[in-house]
Amino acid sequence: MRFSILASGSTGNAIYIGTERMSLLIDVGITGKQAEAALKEIGVQPQDLQAILVTHEHVDHIKGIGVLARRYEIPVYANTKTWEAMEAQIGPIAEKQRRQFEVGETREFADLTVQSFGISHDAAEPMGFCFYHGKKKLSVATDLGYVSERIKETLRGADAYIFEANHDVEMLRMSQYPWSVKRRILSDVGHLSNEAAGEALSDLLCGQAERVYLAHLSKENNLMELAQLTVKGVLEERGLRVGEDVHLRETYPHRPTRLEEL
């Protein structure tokens, strides 16, 4: 199983996952043109994509879905409530490309097994995904207000995690955002802070050299260096050695991570 985070952050999110027989995207929150360029940078042809999975309908996750789906006739998978919420934003999708993928469902995509699970966020019915290929597992969870024990149990045991570390709480509190927006971000249907990400990850990780990609960082209220420092501090307080037991990796808002393999 190969994967690359094509874009990650408050300005747009998209992830590529591929195997010998399957090639798909999780979300396309960047323009179609940007997605095509990012895919080509990692050596993937957009016309080879076989599916787009949608986590939820916010624009930083669906901006380019309509363009890519129509241009390359890619099937789009989302749950019923997400389809209803995003239809007007992504434009017409041919009936043969409209697929249902409900919360809690597990589906087979050729040689890739995908498990969906519900998350706490202020969207119609947001989801995260776990991917299984052979003995390998990749867990993807962003846009989380909080991480419940149910979600932890679902995510646990992965070889790699793409996990939200959205904001530094003090940067957010001192920001120019209206209080209503700050309150939303800090709420149980908002986003995970760096410290909350570290705490959740410390419950998930087994210390078997798992890779953790810190994702969905706020452009205004976080820095990758700060996110890594905070998460590292929490993990090491809990007895995990960063660089040995766990490896923290960066993601970028405007360029893809290198194509990694599990």
What is the residue type of 18? G
- List of residues 6+ apart from 16 with CB closer than 8 A: 3, 4, 6, 23, 24, 25, 38, 39, 42, 44, 256, 259
d(Cα 30, Cα 59) in Å, to the nearest integer?
9
Instruction: Please list the ranges in the chain whose pLDDT falls under 70.
Output: none
pLDDT at 190: 96
- Residue 173: how many CB atoms within 10 A of its CB? 13
Three-state secondary-structure class, residue 2: strand
pLDDT digits (tens, 9 = 90+) for 40-49: 999 999 999 9
**pLDDT one-digit tens code per residue, 112-126:** 999 999 999 999 999
How many whole angstroms separate alpha carbon 105 and alpha carbon 116? 6
Which of 50, 10, 48 lies closest to 30 in space, CA to CA?
10
Question: What is the reported pLDDT for 26?
Answer: 98
Model pTM score: 0.97
pLDDT value of residue 14 = 98
Residue 80's pLDDT is 98
Residues 6+ apart with CB under 8 A from 226: 168, 171, 194
